[in-house]
Structure 1
Amino acid sequence: MSKEPLPSFEKITQTLEDADLFTNASETHGVLSGLVCGGVKLDDQSWRPHFNDVVNEGLGLPRNAQKLVESIYGQVVNQFTDDGMGFNLLLPNDDVPLDERAEAMAQWAQGFLVGFGMVQQALNQASDEIQELIRDIRDISQVSLDFEQEDEESEIAFAEIVEYLRVGAMLCFNAFSRKAPAPVSKTLH
C-alpha cells in the first residue's frame, strides 16, 4: 500500500464529484476508517465491496476515483498500523470557515459509523467504553454545529471534538482490528 501523500481536500472532493459518487472527501475517509477500525481484513480487496455498496450502489468506481480511494484506503491502513499516532481525520484546512469544517467533521463521523457498522457485528460484546464511544460518534454525526462566530473558544471546542474522534477511531482499531499475538501453547509434545 502506497505511502505517498494524498491530494488536497479540494482535489479529492472534485474527483469524487466528477465520478458522480454519493460521497465527499470527509465521508469517504470516514467510511474507509470505519471499515478498517471495524475489522475488515487489511488487504487490497476486502474493503472494496463494502465501500462500493455505500457510495456507488454496489458498482465499481470509475478509474480516477478508484485510484484515489485506493490511495486513501492505503493511507488509513498505514496510519493505523504504524502505531496509529499518525492517524488524522480528512477535513478541510483551517482556513475554511469553521461551520464548514464542523459539517465535514459530522460527515466524517457519519461515514465512520456506516463503514464500522458494515463489518463489525459484535459491538454488543465490546467493552462499555467502546460502546459509549460509538454512541458519542453517533451523537456527533447528528449534531448541527453552528458556530455563530469564529473565535478562539469555538476553534478549541472544534479541535477537542476532532481529537476525540481521532483517539476514538484508534481505540476501535485496537479493539477490533489489531491482531493479538497467537497464544503460546503450554502443551509439550
Structure 2
Amino acid sequence: MNSAVLPSFEKISQALEGAELFTNAAETHGVLSGFVCGGIALDDKSWQPLFNDVVNEGMALPQPIKKLVADIYAEVVKQCADDGLGFNLLLPDDEKPLDERAEAMAQWAQSFLVGFGMVQQALNQASEDVQEVIRDIRDISQLSLDFEQEDEESEIAFAEIVEYLRVSAMLCFNTFSRNMATPISNTLH
C-alpha cells in the first residue's frame, strides 16, 4: 500500500483552524489514535460520526478536511499495524519551543483518552498493565509541564514521555485492535 505523506503538524492545524474546527493536529491525531487503539472496527468508517461528534458538534466535516482526517486515520492504522512499531505521535517539530511541544503532547494524551473512552467499554476487563498505562496517560494529560527551553534534561524528559505515550498506545492497540488490523486504503469514497 502506498502511504500518503501527511502534511506537517502546522499545516494540519492551519487547515483545521481554517475550517473553524475547535481542534489542532495533536488533538485530531490523539482522538483518532484513541479510536484505533481502543478497538474500533479498523476497516470501515464507523469512526467518522464519532470524530464529527468530538470536533464538529456532530456535523459532517467539509470535504477537504474530511479527506485530510481520513488520511490521518489511515496513517494511524498503518503505523499501528506495522510490526516494526512505526507508530508516532503527531506533534510540532523539534525546532518549536519545548513548552509548545509539551502542551501539544498533553493535548494529544487528553484527546487519546477521549477517543479511547468512546470506543472501549471493557477497560476494567483488560490486563493490569493496560489499566495502568491508561491511568498514566490520564496523569500525563493533566500535567503542567514547565520545561526550561535550553535545558538538555528537559528535552530528554520530554522525549521519554513521548516514547512512553507511543509505547502505551501500541500496548492498547495490541490488546484491543491487533486481531482486527488489516491494511486500509487512504482513498476516501
Tell me the TM-score normalised to structure 2 length.
0.92
The CA distance in 1 between the partners of 2:136 and 2:37, in whole Å, is 16
Q: Note the 1:35-46 alignment, pairs <5 A.
A: 35-46=35-46
* Identity fraction in percent: 77
1:149, distance to aligned residue in structure 2 (A): 3.7
Encode CA deviations 1:38-88: one digit per residue, 9 max, x unaligned.
000002411101111100011110111111101100100001112161100
Gapped regions of structure 2 (runs ≥ 5): 181-189
1:92 alignment partner in structure 2? 92
Query: C-alpha displacement at 1:18, in angstroms?
Result: 0.6
CA distance in 1, matches of 2:106, 2:84: 21
Number of residue pairs matched?
A: 180
1:148 CA drift (Å)? 3.0
CA contact (8 A) 1:84 1:170 kept: no
Instruction: Map 1:116-155 to 2 at 5 A.
Output: 116-155=116-155
Distance in 2 of aligned mates of 1:63 and 1:2: 22
Which moved further from structure 2: 26-35 or 38-47?
A: 38-47
Give the secondary-structure state (helix, strand or coil) at the position aligned to 1:160. helix
Q: Is the 8 A contact 1:80 1:170 kept in 2?
A: yes
Q: Is the partner of 2:178 in helix, strand or coil?
A: coil
Segments of structure 1 that go 5 or more residues without pairing to the other structure are 181-189
* 2:184 paired residue number: none
Could you tell me which residue of structure 1 aligns to residue 109 of structure 2? 109
Contact kept? 2:27, 2:108, Cα under 8 Å: yes
